[in-house]
Chains A and B, each alone.
Chain A
Amino acid sequence: MQTPLHFTQSDSLLSIELSGELTLYSITPLEKQMRQRDVVGITRIEINLMSVTFIDTATAIFLVKMEEMFSKRGVECSLICENKTLLSTLELVKMQRIITNLETQSQQKKSSFLEKKLKDIYAYFYSFIPFITFLGKLFVAKMSYLKSFKNIRFKEIAYEINESAVKALGIVALTSFLIGLVVAYQSAFQLKTYGANIFIVDMLGISILRELAPLITAIVIAGRSGSAFTAQIGAMKITQELDAMKTMGFDPFAFLVLPRIIALMIAMPILIFVADIMGMLGGIIVANADLGISSNLFLDRFREVIAAKHFFIGIIKGPFFAFLIASIGIYRGLSVQNDTQSIGFNTTKSVVESIFVVIVCDALFSIALTNLGI
Chain B
Amino acid sequence: MSVIEVRDVQTVFGTKVIHDGLNLSINEGEIYGLLGPSGCGKTTLLREMVMLQDFSHGSIDILGHNVSNIKERDAQKLRREWGVLFQFGALFSSLSIRDNIALPLVEYTDLNASMIEEIVQFKINLVGLKSSDADLFPSQISGGMKKKAGLARALCMDPKLLFLDEPTSGLDPISAREFDELILKLRSLLGLTIVMVSHDLQSIYDTLDRVAIIDEKKIAYEGTIVDVKSSKSQFVQTFFK
Cβ-defined contact, A236 with B93, below 8 A: yes
Output the least CB separation between B190 and chain A (Å): 18
List residues of chain A with CB within 8 A of the CB of B103. 248, 250
Q: Assuming the A-B contacts A239-B88, A240-B86, A240-B90, are A247 and B50 also in contact, with contact meaning beta carbons closer than 8 angstroms in the complex?
A: yes
Q: Which residue of A lies closest to B86 (CB)?
A: A240
Q: Does B235 contact A (CB under 8 A)?
A: no
List residues of chain B with CB within 8 A of the CB of A249. 75-76, 79-80, 108
Within 8 A of A (CB), among B40-98: 47, 50-52, 75-76, 79-80, 82, 84, 86-88, 90-93
Enumerate the 10 nearest inter-chain pairs by beta-carbon distance, A residue then B residue, closest first. Answer: A249-B79, A240-B90, A244-B90, A247-B84, A247-B50, A240-B86, A249-B76, A243-B52, A241-B92, A241-B90
Output the least CB separation between B197 and chain A (Å): 14
Q: Does B37 contact A (CB under 8 A)?
A: no
| Partner among B51, B92, B153 whose Cβ is within 8 Å of the Cβ of A246 | B51
23 A-B interface contacts by CB (under 8 A)? A235-B93, A236-B92, A236-B93, A239-B90, A239-B93, A240-B88, A241-B90, A241-B91, A243-B47, A243-B52, A244-B84, A244-B86, A244-B90, A246-B79, A247-B50, A247-B51, A247-B79, A248-B103, A248-B104, A249-B76, A249-B79, A249-B108, A250-B107
Cβ-defined contact, A247 with B52, below 8 A: yes
Report the separation of the CA atoms of residues A123 and B104 in the bound assembly, to the nearest whole angstrom. Answer: 39
Report the separation of the CA atoms of residues A241 and B92 in the bound assembly, to the nearest whole angstrom. Answer: 6
Bitwise interface map of B from 137 to 172 toward A, beta carbon under 8 Å scored 1, else 0: 000000000000000010000000000000000000
Q: Chain A: residues with CB nearer than 8 A to chain B? A: 235-236, 239-241, 243-250
Output the least CB separation between A330 and chain B (Å): 16
Report the separation of the CA atoms of residues A245 and B79 in the bound assembly, to the nearest whole angstrom. Answer: 10
Q: Which residue of B lies closest to A236 (CB)?
A: B93
Query: Which range holds the interface residue count of chain B?
Result: 20 to 34
List residues of chain A with CB within 8 A of the CB of B88. 239-240
Output the least CB separation between A263 and chain B (Å): 15
Cβ-defined contact, A241 with B107, below 8 A: no
List residues of chain B with CB within 8 A of the CB of A244. 84, 86, 90-92, 153
Residue picked from A236, A240, A246, A247, most chain B C-beta under 10 Å: A247
Output the least CB separation between A106 and chain B (Å): 12
List residues of chain A with CB within 8 A of the CB of B50. 247
Q: Chain B: residues with CB nearer than 8 A to chain A? A: 47, 50-52, 75-76, 79-80, 82, 84, 86-88, 90-93, 103-104, 107-108, 153
Output the least CB separation between B213 and chain A (Å): 25
Output the least CB separation between A21 and chain B (Å): 36
Q: Which residue of B lies closest to A248 (CB)?
A: B104
Output the least CB separation between A156 and chain B (Å): 11
Report the separation of the CA atoms of residues A249 and B109 in the bound assembly, to the nearest whole angstrom. Answer: 13
Known A243-B90, A247-B52, A248-B103; 7 more pairs at CB < 8 Å? A240-B88, A240-B90, A245-B92, A247-B84, A249-B76, A249-B80, A250-B107
Cβ-defined contact, A241 with B93, below 8 A: yes
Output the least CB separation between B61 and chain A (Å): 17
Cβ-defined contact, A243 with B86, below 8 A: yes
List residues of chain B with CB within 8 A of the CB of A240. 86-88, 90
Q: Which residue of B lies closest to A144 (CB)?
A: B72
List residues of chain B with CB within 8 A of the CB of A250. 103, 107
Report the separation of the CA atoms of residues A121 and B103 in the bound assembly, to the nearest whole angstrom. Answer: 44
Report the separation of the CA atoms of residues A46 and B153 in the bound assembly, to the nearest whole angstrom. Answer: 69
List residues of chain B with CB within 8 A of the CB of A247. 50-52, 79, 82, 84
Report the separation of the CA atoms of residues A243 and B47 in the bound assembly, to the nearest whole angstrom. Answer: 9
Report the separation of the CA atoms of residues A236 and B50 in the bound assembly, to the nearest whole angstrom. Answer: 19
List residues of chain A with CB within 8 A of the CB of B84. 244, 247-248
Report the separation of the CA atoms of residues A235 and B91 in the bound assembly, to the nearest whole angstrom. Answer: 12
Report the separation of the CA atoms of residues A240 and B166 in the bound assembly, to the nearest whole angstrom. Answer: 15
List residues of chain A with CB within 8 A of the CB of B90. 239-241, 243-244
List residues of chain A with CB within 8 A of the CB of B75. 249
Output the least CB separation between B161 and chain A (Å): 11
Q: Which residue of A lies closest to B146 (CB)?
A: A239
Output the least CB separation between A141 and chain B (Å): 11
Q: Which residue of A lies closest to B163 (CB)?
A: A247
Q: Which residue of B lies closest to A140 (CB)?
A: B72
Q: Which residue of B lies closest to A249 (CB)?
A: B79
List residues of chain A with CB within 8 A of the CB of B52. 243, 246-247
List residues of chain B with CB within 8 A of the CB of A245. 92
Output the least CB separation between B232 and chain A (Å): 27
Cβ-defined contact, B86 with A248, below 8 A: no
Output the least CB separation between A108 and chain B (Å): 10
Output the least CB separation between A241 and chain B (Å): 5
Report the separation of the CA atoms of residues A240 and B75 in the bound assembly, to the nearest whole angstrom. Answer: 20
Q: Which residue of B lies closest to A250 (CB)?
A: B107
Report the separation of the CA atoms of residues A248 and B83 in the bound assembly, to the nearest whole angstrom. Answer: 7
Report the separation of the CA atoms of residues A245 and B103 in the bound assembly, to the nearest whole angstrom. Answer: 10
Output the least CB separation between B146 and chain A (Å): 10
Report the separation of the CA atoms of residues A250 and B79 in the bound assembly, to the nearest whole angstrom. Answer: 9
Q: Which residue of B lies closest to A247 (CB)?
A: B84
Report the separation of the CA atoms of residues A239 and B95 in the bound assembly, to the nearest whole angstrom. Answer: 14
Report the separation of the CA atoms of residues A240 and B103 in the bound assembly, to the nearest whole angstrom. Answer: 16
List residues of chain B with CB within 8 A of the CB of A241. 90-93
